[in-house]
Every structure is written in C-alpha cells, then in structure tokens.
Amino acid sequence: MGFLYTTEGSGWSCGFPGKISAAEFWTMMERKKKILIVDDDPSVNELMKEVLEDAGYETVSVFDGLQGVQFAQSVSPDLILLDINLPAGSGENVYTRLKTMLTTKKIPVVIMTGESPDRIRKFALEKNIDQKDIYLKPVNITRFVKRIGEILGDL
C-alpha cells in the first residue's frame, strides 16, 4: 500500500486510497501515550490492556509492586494504573514511592482496586488523591476511559 498524492481541484490532497484520510494518517503518526498497568490479576491486567489499546493508548503490563516502580522509572509512562493489593510491595507503598521519586512524581496515577471503599477513602485522604482517580472493581469502562482521556488531555 502506497501513500498517494493527487491534485484534485486547485490544491493537493493526500492519503491512502480507500483506506484512511490524511487527517487520520497524521493522527496515527503522533506518538501514542503510554500507560503502565500494575495489577497482579492477569485477567484484569489483560482486560485493561485491551480496553486502553482499543482507546488508542500503548500499554505496558506488570504484575507486582516492585516491577511497577522499576518500570515506571525505565519506561516513563504518561500515566500509571495502579492496583492497591499487590505482591512485592503494596499499592499504597508503590504510590508513596512513585510520588517521592524525582523521575516519577509528576506521572499521574489512577487507582483501580477491589479493596473496601472505607480503606480506599482513608488512603485517598492521606495521600490527597482526587476521588475521580479511584475506581473500584468492577470498573465502569466508559467512565474509566473518559477519565484517562481527560487526564492525558485527549478529550
């Protein structure tokens, strides 16, 4: 498949014939925003990966707190999706660590958890986390994807 330039009318137009418009092409050429998913449940991790990639984001998945911190430093994601109940470092400790390290403290973190609402509310108050950035499982996918877009400036 080749890129096509034509001179229809008085100006140039470009695109892939019968496939996508020039605007869609340039949108695809922009760097996809990267989201680090930190969740120890493989089915949740896979579901979030699928949902976020369908929404146009690039994802990296890890399954414990230690990996979450390491990958956040090495991958420099645009956003981190963090579960609270994790092996090798609780999500609460991971969040605290991410927000105190120079390389990761400005990365937005969205909490997604199956923990009790009371525990999460207390944690959110202690860490000054906006309630809009906390999702209890099962997640409302439409609301979740919309919020991710708002945080990353895609809406």
pLDDT tens digits for 87-99?
887 999 999 999 9
Mean pLDDT of 76-81: 97
- Looking at the structure, do residues 69 and 139 belong to the same domain, yes or no? yes
- Looking at the structure, do residues 39 and 69 belong to the same domain, yes or no? yes
Give the confidence band of 6 by pLDDT, cuts at 50, 70, 90. very low
- Looking at the structure, do residues 6 and 45 belong to the same domain, yes or no? no
pTM of structure: 0.78
Which residue stretches of 58-127 are H helix? 65-75, 91-100, 117-127
> Tens digits of per-residue pLDDT, 23-61?
655 555 567 899 999 999 999 999 999 999 999 999 999
**Which residues on adjacent β-strands are paired with residue 111?**
82, 134
Structural domain including 15 reads 1-30
CATH classification of the domain holding 82: 3.40.50.2300
The beta strand positions in 19-144, using DSSP E, are 20-21, 34-38, 58-62, 79-82, 109-113, 134-136
- Looking at the structure, do residues 102 and 139 belong to the same domain, yes or no? yes
Specify the pLDDT at position 9. 47
- Looking at the structure, do residues 57 and 26 belong to the same domain, yes or no? no
Task: Give the C-alpha separation, 104 to 119, whole Å.
Answer: 24
- Look up residue 130 and give its two tokens: 């906006």
Name the 3-class secondary structure at 37: strand
- Looking at the structure, do residues 98 and 22 belong to the same domain, yes or no? no
- Look up residue 91 and give its two tokens: 């999500």
- Looking at the structure, do residues 65 and 20 belong to the same domain, yes or no? no
- Looking at the structure, do residues 3 and 38 belong to the same domain, yes or no? no
- Looking at the structure, do residues 22 and 84 belong to the same domain, yes or no? no
Specify the pLDDT at position 24. 59
> Tens digits of per-residue pLDDT, 107-144?
999 999 988 888 888 989 999 999 899 999 999 999 99
Mean pLDDT of the chain: 84
Rg (CA), the chain: 19
